[in-house]
Amino acid sequence: MVERISSTETSDDALHLSRPTPIYRILFFLLLSGPPKFRLRDATDSLSYTLDWVILLQVLVWGIAGCWLFLDTSYHPEADSADRFRLSNLQILTIILIGLLGVSIFFSESMGFSAFKVYQLGVMIAFIMRFTGRFGIAETLNNLFLGCGILAIADVVAAFLMPDLVFVPTELRTLRFRGDLIAQTGTVSVIGLILLLTIKSDLPRKKFFFWAVTFGGVLVFSLARTSYLILLAFLILAVLKRPPIPVLRKVATLALLTVPFAADSLITALNAQRKVEDILTISGRLELWTHLIETTLAKGPWFGLGYAAASRIYGPEINPELGTAHSAFVEIYAGGGLVSLVAFLLIWAVLGWAILKLYLSRPGKTGFAIVGLFCASLFLNAVGGELQAEPTGVCFWCVVAAVVYLPFENLSPIAATLRSPLLTTAAQRPQES
């Protein structure tokens, strides 16, 4: 089945006549934020079903989101647009992945916890697909930008009013602005910057400057080396392809020209806060990943040891403070086994090929934002992120949804443009009340 790729800026927003209701916007933000943890909690408490007000809040939010998807009667797909709602390869692979992770529940030592995590993943994917299909790609990315902006500001406010929520000790016993209990500072800031330099690049100067200072400041003080690398890779891609986004081209060129002169000072400042040798072990993750992979190979190589539960059970054997696999890929393998990992890797392969074609087409604001978010998702999921209940996961599934709903368009400049079912049916869609 052909994936939908656009080589030019699409008129996606113009074709989606309805706008998100406040409930949709609020649910989008709540799912993006987790909701926040707000307190330290032992990694094994969830395995024993220990409840507190934060857990009850999360159950309430995710329960409402699931019910909303099921009971929302305002969304009526047109019966005469079968092509518009035909499942793409990415959607089929995603359904397979959720199904396989569902099977892993029966191999979990904490079936209830694994079931809730699989439910979270299913609700998140379904919600983002519904949101993007109904309101458009640009609207989805706008809400992602706004959500990351709110979380970044919340981290800054907490740094002054409730520092225990956002500061953690580094390896050198200094304090690091990481934002664990509200939102990972490195994650929300780099996602926000990518969107600011693409879809929000035409903001009025004062607003653009405000968000640039907010996201840039949060990123600098986060000391998140992965996020620094993501931003550098994004700027290099912008310089190589030079998309039709003047602000991005100027910022990318200026930043890359400045890096050689500022590199020594930046590295020295970073090394004063974090251990250089930790780069080789990815801050201890290699030992964790090796342990989880060996344990899974020994106890459940095919269907895993229970999604999310496996890392909660066996991760603390390496470090009592660890509660996740610190890699979506290892989390999928340890939780769902080899069959789930294969499905997950196929999603990345199909998505990567689609993003490569999109990048080579020299896309506009929305298209290059998707390319940048794909880079962010790849790095963040590889070395720390989860696929649900946090900005890293939402970012990844927004990229998947965006690729699914991009209109068909031939990448060859001499070939006729293919009309998408999205284009042909949306024009006939009545205005919603």
Return the minimum-mean-pLDDT range out of 76-85, 258-267, 276-285, 423-432. 423-432
Answer whether 292's CB lies under 8 Å from 314's CB. Answer: yes
pLDDT at 433 over 50: no
User: What number of other Cβ atoms are within 10 A of residue 153's Cβ?
Assistant: 15
State mean pLDDT over 340-366. 95
Q: Is the pLDDT of residue 382 over 50?
A: yes
Residue 42 confidence (pLDDT) = 76
Query: What are 202-205's contacts with CB under 8 Å, separation 24+?
Result: 202/247
Assess whether pLDDT exceeds 90 at residue 120. Answer: yes
Query: What does the angle CA 199 – CA 202 – CA 204 come to, to the nearest 5 degrees?
Result: 135
Nearest to 151 by CA among 33, 48, 69, 235: 33
Q: Is 9 within the bounds of a domain?
A: no
- pLDDT score, position 280: 57
Residues 28-38 have a mean pLDDT of 92
Q: Does some domain include residue 14? A: no
Residue 188 near residue 155 (C-beta atoms within 8 A):
yes
pLDDT at residue 259, as a whole number:
81
Question: What is the average pLDDT score of the chain?
Answer: 84
Instruction: Give the pLDDT of residue 322.
Output: 76
Quick one: which of 381, 297, 304, 401 has its CA closest to 101?
304
Is 261 a member of any domain?
yes
Is the confidence at residue 185, as pLDDT, over 90? yes
| Predicted local confidence at residue 260, as pLDDT | 79
Within a domain: 3: no
Q: Model confidence over 130-144: pLDDT tens digits? A: 999 899 999 999 999
Q: How far apart are CA 210 and CA 189, in angstroms?
A: 13
What's the CA gap between 309 and 311, in Å, rounded? 6
Report yes or no on 12 lying in a domain.
no
223/31: higher pLDDT: 31
Per-residue pLDDT, averaged over 212-235, amounts to 93
In the predicted structure, residue 103 carries a pLDDT above the cut 80: yes
Q: Is 206 exposed, middle or buried (0-12, 13-18, 19+ CB in 10 A)?
A: exposed
- Establish if 85 belongs to a structural domain: no
| Alpha-carbon distance values, 235 to 239, 255, 279, 391 (Å) | 6, 8, 22, 21
The pLDDT, as a whole number, for residue 245 is 93
pLDDT band at 385 (very low <50, low <70, confident <90, very high): confident
pLDDT tops 70 at residue 358: yes
Do the domain assignments include residue 245?
A: yes
Banded model confidence at residue 83, pLDDT cuts 50, 70, 90: low
Question: Residue 402 is which amino acid?
Answer: A
What b/e sequence results for 51-77 when a residue is b if at least 16 CB atoms lie within 10 Å of its CB, and e otherwise? eeebbeebeebbeebbeebeeeeeeee
Higher pLDDT, 384 or 154: 154
Share of the chain above pLDDT 90, in %: 61
Nearest to 283 by CA among 164, 374, 396, 168: 168
Q: Is residue 33 part of a domain?
A: yes
Where do the DSSP E strands lie in 163-314?
A: 167-169, 175-177
At 355 the pLDDT is 96
pLDDT (mean) for 260-277: 69
The position carrying tokens 């030992």 is 287
The closest of 5, 46, 83 to 367, measured between CA atoms, is 5
Asked which of 102-106, 167-171, 296-300, 302-306 is least confident by mean pLDDT, the reply is 167-171
Strand partners, 67: none
Domain that holds residue 371: 19-70+92-410+420-426
**Which range among 267-276, 343-352, 401-410, 423-432 shows the weakest confidence by mean pLDDT?**
423-432
Q: Based on the structure, what is the number of domains in the chain?
A: 1
Q: What is the pLDDT of residue 3?
A: 42
pLDDT score at 423? 33
Confidence band for 271, pLDDT divided at 50, 70 and 90? low
